[in-house]
């Protein structure tokens, strides 16, 4: 059986971490998390792995890093530039978007010096994790569309790529985006509060949600429909077994009931929100935005993005 990379796409705060954690509960799957943040995560002394340990104390990732260090003959934790995998940053830095057109339209291989190196590094992580875990499917929840298209354009023998475009009610995303802290229950039983991203302006959250989802929907529907699975977060949390069955079928696997019990499956997810550590079960969404967002904010959302929210099936 060949190896499959499933890349979860979508806007921030749309449930990609929980989805990755659930899919990764299968015995033949492994959830990587937001692997584009690999460099920043491994350098920080405060970031936590999905297993609950600080990343610098996680045996799984320390073993992967040791193998990379051996290949590179240097310590990649000393600098984020030694082993960079931030492909999207390099594309934007070099203003190379127009070179993506053949990749988007015709699946042509994307080639550009610095980006080539980062693609090779990303594949290097994929290879080492496949080898260590003896799995057939990796879940990369980085969410960047152009990065995903570039990685898939390599057509590496023995590898195939599948995309999951996850959408969430934009009002739920807005409500989540306005939070400025989160809590993690650590393995020692101590619950700690952490500061999240600084609270952004509502307009920024709304515009980003609309842009990312509309762009992804158009490109994936027009040019990658055959290998893209479209999923609404609310549908998934309402009936996780149904949608996990469909996702596993997409990658040639049978459903395993244990994937539904998140706390029984150790994970080593990088990045993402606190659900990589805290989530024990897949709970149906409670639509907290209905009580947390005032009428003025809902009016702004409706004016800017309400039409697309309705198109996606949200009332």
| Nearest residue to 161 via CA among 175, 147, 172 | 147
CATH classification of the domain holding 275: 3.40.50.300
pLDDT band at 243 (very low <50, low <70, confident <90, very high): very high
Question: Residue 220: what pLDDT?
Answer: 98
Q: Work out how many domains the chain is built from and give that number.
A: 1
Instruction: Record the pTM.
Output: 0.93
Q: pLDDT, tens digit, for every residue of 67-114? A: 999 999 999 998 777 888 888 877 777 667 788 899 999 999 988 877
Res 182: pLDDT: 57
Give the separation between CA 11 and CA 167, rounded to whole angstroms: 7
pLDDT above 60 for 251: yes
Q: What is the pLDDT of residue 186?
A: 57
Can you give the residue range of the structural domain that contains 151? 3-311
Interval 109-148: pLDDT, tens = 988 877 888 999 999 999 999 999 999 999 999 999 999 9
* CA terminus-to-terminus distance, the chain: 42
Separation between Cα atoms, residue 12 and residue 212, nearest integer Å: 9
């Amino acid at each position: 059986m060949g190896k499959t990379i499933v890349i979860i796409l979508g806007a921030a705060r749309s449930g990609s971490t929980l989805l990755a954690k659930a899919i990764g509960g299968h015995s033949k799957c492994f959830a990587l998390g937001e692997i584009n943040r690999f460099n920043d995560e491994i350098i920080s002394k405060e970031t936590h792995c999905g297993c609950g340990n600080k990343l610098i104390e996680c045996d799984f990732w320390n073993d992967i890093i040791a193998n990379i260090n051996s290949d590179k003959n240097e310590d990649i934790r000393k600098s984020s530039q030694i082993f960079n995998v931030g492909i999207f940053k390099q594309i934007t830095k070099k203003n190379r978007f127009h070179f993506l057109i053949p990749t988007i339209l015709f699946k042509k291989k994307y080639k550009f010096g610095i980006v080539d190196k980062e693609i090779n590094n990303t594949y290097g992580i994929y290879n080492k994790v496949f080898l260590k875990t003896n799995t057939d499917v990796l879940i990369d929840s980085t969410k960047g569309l152009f990065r995903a298209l570039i990685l898939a354009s390599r057509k590496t023998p023995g590898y195939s790529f599948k995309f999951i475009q996850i959408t969430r009610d934009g009002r739920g995303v807005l409500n989540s985006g306005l939070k400025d802290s989160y809590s993690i229950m650590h393995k020692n039983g101590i619950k700690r509060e952490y500061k999240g991203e600084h609270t952004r302006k509502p307009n920024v959250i709304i515009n980003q949600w609309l842009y990312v989802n509309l762009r992804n929907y158009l490109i994936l529907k027009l040019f990658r429909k055959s290998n893209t699975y479209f999923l609404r977060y609310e549908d998934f949390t309402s009936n996780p077994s149904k949608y996990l069955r469909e996702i596993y079928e997409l990658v040639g696997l049978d459903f395993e009931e244990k994937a539904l019990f998140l706390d029984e499956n150790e994970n080593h997810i990088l990045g993402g929100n606190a659900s990589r550590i805290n989530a024990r079960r897949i709970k149906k969404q409670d639509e907290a935005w209905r009580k947390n967002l005032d009428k003025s904010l809902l009016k702004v959302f409706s004016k800017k993005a309400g039409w697309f929210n309705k198109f996606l099936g949200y009332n």
